Structure formats: C-alpha cells, structure tokens
Structure 1
Amino acid sequence: MLTGKQKRFLRSKAHHLDPIFQVGKGGVSETMLKQLEDVLEKRELIKVSILQNNEDDKHEVAEALAEGTGAELVQLIGLTVVLYKPSVNNRQIQLPKS
C-alpha cells in the first residue's frame, strides 16, 4: 500500500509519460493483463488510457487493471490510469520513505 507522499512522488514521475496501452470496447482481457505485467516489470510506472467507446465504468476498469496485474493504482484522472508495480529484477524507482 502506497502512502500519500509516495503517490504524489509517482504522480510527478508519471506526468511526462505517454499512455502506452488503451482499453477499448472489448474491455480488460487476460491477454492485455499479461502484456501489462510484462511492461510493468520493465518500466514499473505506466499510463493506460481508457477510450471513449469503452462501455464500462472507468473506476471499474482502473480497479480491474490494478488487480489483474498486481499493481498499485496511483491515479485515475479523466480517462487515464497510472499504475505502479516495483520490478523484481530491474528496480529503477526509489520511493520516498513514508
């Protein structure tokens, strides 16, 4: 569980990132979750955009992405989700102490 200070730190890091995945009409799938896990292992912090044609609630989509990948939901702003998961082999981001 991330503290407020750690979430603020991660939000500032994610500000300049571009979304690298999109959740469309098909919603969240197992294949997408597997790909997200692989990318999170390499990058640790990513943005995912939810397209306008997605019929699910954006909060449900964000929760499904976080739970499915085992990542922390850092932020949901508009239709953009920010996820963080510390890498096992390639640790790059040092979180501030609580």
Structure 2
Amino acid sequence: MLTGKQKRYLRKEAHHLNPIFQVGKSGINKNMLDQLDETLEKRELIKVSVLQNNFEDKNDLAEQIAKGTDAYIVQIIGNIIVLYRESLEDKQIDLP
C-alpha cells in the first residue's frame, strides 16, 4: 500500500506524462491488461485515459486495471487514471 507521501511524490512524477493507453467503449479485456502489465514493468508509472464513449464508472475501471496488473492507483483526476507498480527488473523510481 502506498503512503500519502509516496502518492504525492508519484503524482509529481506523473504530471508531465502523457496517457499511453485509452479505454474506449469496449472496456477492458485480457489483451489490454497484458499490454498494461508489460508497460508497467518497463515504466513503473503510467497514465490511462478513459474516453467519453465509455459509460462505465472510471473508479470501477481503475480498480479492474489495478487488480488485473497488481498495480496501485495513484490518482484519478478527470478522465485520467495514474497507476504505479514497482518493476522487478528495471527499477527507475525510488519512493520516499
């Protein structure tokens, strides 16, 4: 579990990032979770954009992604979900 201090630090680090993935009307599927998993292993911190044609709750989507990839939800702001998972092989971010 992330502490408040760690979440603040990760929000600061994620500020300049652009969303890499988009969740559209088809929602989340196994292939998307696999791609998210690989990307989290390489980058550790990513943003996912929820498109307006997706009518699911973004909090539910964030929970599904976090559970499917073993990641932590750092922040949900607007239609953007920020996720973090410590990399096993390619560690880049040192949490406070």
Fold-level match, TM-score > 0.5? yes
Residue 89 of structure 1: aligned partner: 89
Rounded to whole Å, the distance in 1 between the matches of 2:72 and 2:2 is 8
2:32 match: secondary structure = helix
Separation (CA, whole Å) in 2 of partners of 1:66 and 1:75: 12
Q: Indicate the SS of the match to 2:36.
A: helix
State, as a whole percentage, how many aligned pairs show the same letter.
Answer: 62
Q: Which runs of 5+ in 2 are unaligned?
A: none
Q: Deviations over 1:31-67 (max 9, x none)?
A: 0000000000000000000000001111101111111
Question: Which residue matches 2:30?
Answer: 30
Whole-Å separation in 1 of the counterparts to 2:40 and 2:54: 23
**2 CA distance for matches of 1:89 and 1:24?**
31
- TM (normalized to structure 2)? 0.99
- Residues of 2 paired with 1:92 and 1:69: CA distance? 18
- Once residues 95 and 12 of structure 2 are traced to their aligned partners in structure 1, the CA distance between those partners, rounded to angstroms, is 12
Aligned CA RMSD, in angstroms, stands at: 0.4
The residue aligned with 1:53 is: 53
Q: What TM-score does the superposition give when structure 1 sets the normalisation length?
A: 0.97
Which structure 1 segments of 5+ residues have no match? none
| Aligned counterpart, 1:73 | 73
Equivalent position of 2:8 in the other structure? 8
How many equivalent pairs are there? 96
